[in-house]
Structure 1
C-alpha cells in the first residue's frame, strides 16, 4: 500500500518491533506523525526534545530494544543532542529520526535552518546520514537495526527532507525473520586458558558490555571454578552475587583498588572500556598480564595496553573458554577476609567523603523490591549509592556515566516506566534519583509523568547547593563561588504539575513514602534533605 513516506516510516518501525516513539511534533515533521496511530505505535509527548531523548534512552536500557525519537529540524535536533551524546557514551541503542530542510546552500533565513544539521548530529552519535529517497530512508533504518544487534550499541541519526516526507512512497520490504548472527569465531582461548591455570590470584573486571550481551552465566562459569576475585564497574553491578566471598563490588574507582589490582597475577577485563569514570585514575594499576575481551577495537588498543586482546562478543569467547573449567575447581590465594576488610574500608571512606548518605541508601535498599529499576542523575547521592548499594541483579541501575549530563534521571525513568508497562510487568517498579540542581534541568517532564499516570517515586536529594562542586573548589583551595542557587518549593512545584509530594522526617517515613509512591496513581516527588540523618 502506497502512503506518504512519513507514514511509511512509522509502519516500517512497527514491523521491526518498535511499539513506542518519544518526541514532539512540529510544522516540519508532522508528516512523520501521519502514520503513528495507524501503525499501532504509542507516542509519548515529551516537554522538551532533550527529555524525549532521555526517555528513549531509559526505554532502551529497560528493554534492550532501540529507543526511537522523532524531532523537528534545527532546534529539535540540537535539543536532543545532549541525550544522544549520553547514549553514545553509555552504549545505548537509540534511533533519532528528524526532518531537515530540502535545500540550504543557496537559500538563507529559513525556519530552523542550520549550517550543517547532519554534521552537527554526527558529533554525538555513531553516524548521521540524510535520506534523499524513500529507498535510502528504508536502507538506513534497516542498517541501524542490524548494527544495534551486531555491533556496539550506539545512537544513530537519520534525517529526511521535509518535502520527501510528504511524497507518496511504496512500502519498504518486509523485515527478515531474523538478522544473521554474525558472532565471531573464538580465538586465543587456549592461550587464556593456560594463563588462568597458572594463576594463583586471578582478577576479573566486569563492565556494562557483559550486561548488554547477557553473558552473566558464562562469566560466573569462569569466576567460580577458578575462585577469581571480581571488581564490577558501575555499569556491571549485579552480575556477581553479593554473597560471593571474593566480590570487591563497584569499588574500582577507589584509589586503594590500585593496590589490589597490582597484587593480582592475572587480570581479565570483560566488556569494559576502563574509562576515566570507571577508574578515576590514568592507569588500571596492573603489573601482571592483562587480558581484554571487547567488541570494539579502539578499546583493545587504549592506554592500558592489554597483553592479550580478544576482539569479539564476550559470550562467544567465554563459552569456549569455560568448557575447560566446567567440572573442575582450582584454589586461589584470595582471602574472604581480605575482601571484606577492603569493602569495609571503602564504605567508610565513602561515608566520610559525603556524610549522611550511606544510611539513607541502606534504608532504601532494605525496603525496595530487588527488581526495582533505578535511574540516577549526577548527584552526590548517586555517587555514594553506586558504591555501597549492592545490586541483586544486573541491568537495574542506570546512571549517565561518561558524558555525565545533568537532568537525566526523571525523563529516563519515565522511559523505563513506559517500557515496563509495555512489557506487561504486573508491578512496574521504577525510581528516579536526582539532586536539587540537576532535577531542574528537566523538571518539566513531570507533566509527562503525570499525564501517563506513572507510579514513579522521584527522590530529590536537596542539600540546597552544588555540593560536589563546592567540595572540589575547597579541595583545590578555591573560594567556593556560584555553587548556591535559590531553589523553588519542590513540593509545591510537584503539586502544581498534579503530582503527589511529600517530605519524610525520618528514615522510617522515607521507606513508607517510597513504597506508597510505587503503588500510587501518579508520580510522587519525595524531598530528602541532610536532616534525615543529621
Structure 2
C-alpha cells in the first residue's frame, strides 16, 4: 500500500484537476516542501526573476487564455513583491490564484522574528484580493480549493490568495491522490426573464440606442454584435473590452469613450445598454466627470455592487454578460436596414471626429500606430504598458478578436506590466504576441527578459524610447510645472538585450517596423526592437 499523500502533493494534483498547466514562482527556503513533488506533477513551472514578474506573468496568462493564472510565492517578501501586480489584476478583474507560504502555525502572530516573518501577512493581501484564506488544517485544502475556483470561474474574478503554513506542506492527507477531484464549475447565472422582457422592449422602441461594453463582456462579443445589428445601435468599448466586438464592424466605435463627440452621443442616447463596465474614470482616459445620461440606462453585471457604480441604472440585471445578452438577443427583432445604415454612417463620422480631437503629439505617432496594426497578425495579442504610443494604440489601433488586448493603462495603472505579461500570454496561447513598453517602464521589469530567452519565445518587444517618463513630462509642461524626475539616463537597450541572449535592433522609421517584427516572429528567442521616439533626441538633451 502506498504512503499517504502530503498536503503539497494534493495541492499539485488538484491544480491539474482544475486544468492548471503552468505555475509562475520563485522557490525559497519556506517552499522547499511545496516544490518537492512538483517534478512529475504534470505542472510546468516558470521561474521569473522577481515575484512581481511572477504575478504579471500569471495576469498575462489569464488574459490570453481566460483561465486563472497561478503563482507560487514565499512567505513575506514573496507576497509583498507580488503585491503591485496582484493589485493591477484586482483592478482589472483578472482571475489569479496566489499560493503563498506563511510561517509555521505555532509562530503566527507571535512576532518571534522568524525568517520572512510578516505580522498579519493575511491582512497585507486582503485589500487587493477577492478572497483571502489561511489554511489551518491540511484536510481543509480540497474545500478551500473548491471555494477558490468557484470564485475564479463563476463570479467577478480577481486574485485569490491562499496562504499555507510551512509545517502543513509535508503534512499527510487521508486516502490516495486519485481520491481528490475538482469540484464541478457552477453554470454562470442568466438574467431574470421579466428583466429581459423590459430591456428588450426599451431597446426595441429606442430611436437612438447605444451599447457600452467593458471587460466583463469578454465572452459576450458575438451576442453584443447581433444585438447591435438588430437595433442599429453604435457600440463603444472600454479599454478592457478592445476586440470584444470586431473594431472593423461598421457599428463599432472602438475604445473612444474619452472624446467629447462620443460622450455627447452616449449622453444623448434614449436607451443605453452598459454591460460588464464600471463606467470608470480610466475608461474615459482620466476624464473625471461621470456621464450625464439623459435616457434610460440598462446595466448588466455579475457584480451587484458594480450595477450602481458611477451611474445609477433604470434597470439593473445581476447576471453573466454572455448568458444575458444571448437571452436579450433572442427577445429582439430585426429593425429595417435604413436605421442600420444611418447608424453606420454616424459611427464613421464619430471616428473621424475622434481623430480630429487627438491630443498634442498624437499625429506624429499615428504612422507608428498604423505600422503596428500592419505588423500585428489578425488574431495577435497586443500587450501594452503605460507609455505614450500605447495611449494612441488604445484608441487608434483596431483589434478584431476577444482577448487581443492586455494593458495596464486602465485602473491601477502600474508600470512594468507589459514585458512579463506578454511572456505569460505567449506561454499560455498559440497566438502571436507583441509587447509594447516604454524605456521607463521597461526598467521596472527588465530582468524578465531572461525568462523569455530561457523559454525560447518568439516575442517582439517594442521599446518606445523617449528618454524618460514622457507622458508625465508632457503633463508637467501642460501644467507649467518644472520638469523634475522625468528625464532619465537610458541604457543601451540593444546591447542589454544581447547581453541577455536576445536578438535586438534599433529603428527610427515606421516603415522599418514590419520587417523587424516579422523577423522576430521567425526566431526562437525574443527580439527587443528599440524605437527612437519622435523628438527623442531633443528629450535626451533636455
Question: Normalised by the shorter chain, which TM-score bucket?
Answer: over 0.9
Q: TM-score, normalised by structure 2?
A: 0.93
Q: Distance in 2 between matches of 1:485 and 1:473?
A: 15
RMSD (CA atoms): 1.9
Matches within 5 A, 1:5-404: 5-102=7-104, 103-170=107-174, 171=176, 173-176=179-182, 178-187=184-193, 188-211=195-218, 214-279=219-284, 280-326=287-333, 329=336, 332=339, 334-350=342-358, 352-400=360-408, 401-404=410-413
Q: Distance in 1 between matches of 2:332 and 2:486?
A: 54
Q: Distance in 1 between matches of 2:273 and 2:117?
A: 49
Shift of the 199–230 alpha-carbon distance from structure 1 to 2, 3 Å rule, reads same
Q: How many residues align?
A: 526
Residue 181 of structure 1: how far off its partner (Å): 1.4
Residue 137 of structure 1: how far off its partner (Å): 2.3
Question: 1:258–1:285: 8 Å Cα contact kept in structure 2?
Answer: no
1:429-460 Cα shifts (integer Å, max 9, x gaps): 11111000001100000111101111110000
Q: Distance in 2 between matches of 1:374 and 1:444?
A: 21
The runs of 5 or more residues in structure 2 that have no matched partner are: 538-542
Question: What is the DSSP-based 3-state SS (H/G/I as helix, E as strand, rest coil) of the residue aligned with 2:235?
Answer: strand
Question: What is the DSSP-based 3-state SS (H/G/I as helix, E as strand, rest coil) of the residue aligned with 2:80?
Answer: helix
1:48-103 Cα shifts (integer Å, max 9, x gaps): 00000000111111111111110100000000111111111111110000110121
Residue 305 of structure 1: how far off its partner (Å): 1.0
Q: TM-score, normalised by structure 1?
A: 0.94
Is 2:500 the counterpart of 1:497?
yes
Residue 288 of structure 1: how far off its partner (Å): 0.8
Question: 2:233–2:343: 8 Å Cα contact kept in structure 1?
Answer: no
Q: Distance in 1 between matches of 2:128 and 2:63?
A: 18
Question: What is the DSSP-based 3-state SS (H/G/I as helix, E as strand, rest coil) of the residue aligned with 1:350?
Answer: coil
Q: Distance in 2 between matches of 1:465 and 1:385?
A: 19
Question: 2:200–2:332: 8 Å Cα contact kept in structure 1?
Answer: no
Question: 1:360–1:533: 8 Å Cα contact kept in structure 2?
Answer: no
Which position in structure 1 is the counterpart of 2:540? none
Residue 390 of structure 1: how far off its partner (Å): 0.6
Q: Distance in 2 between matches of 1:480 and 1:157?
A: 40
Question: 1:206–1:233: 8 Å Cα contact kept in structure 2?
Answer: yes
Question: 2:381–2:404: 8 Å Cα contact kept in structure 1?
Answer: yes
Shift of the 496–59 alpha-carbon distance from structure 1 to 2, 3 Å rule, reads same
Question: 1:505–1:532: 8 Å Cα contact kept in structure 2?
Answer: no
Q: Distance in 2 between matches of 1:42 and 1:25?
A: 14
Which position in structure 2 is the counterpart of 1:468? 471
Q: Distance in 2 between matches of 1:24 and 1:491?
A: 27
Q: Distance in 1 between matches of 2:369 and 2:485?
A: 28
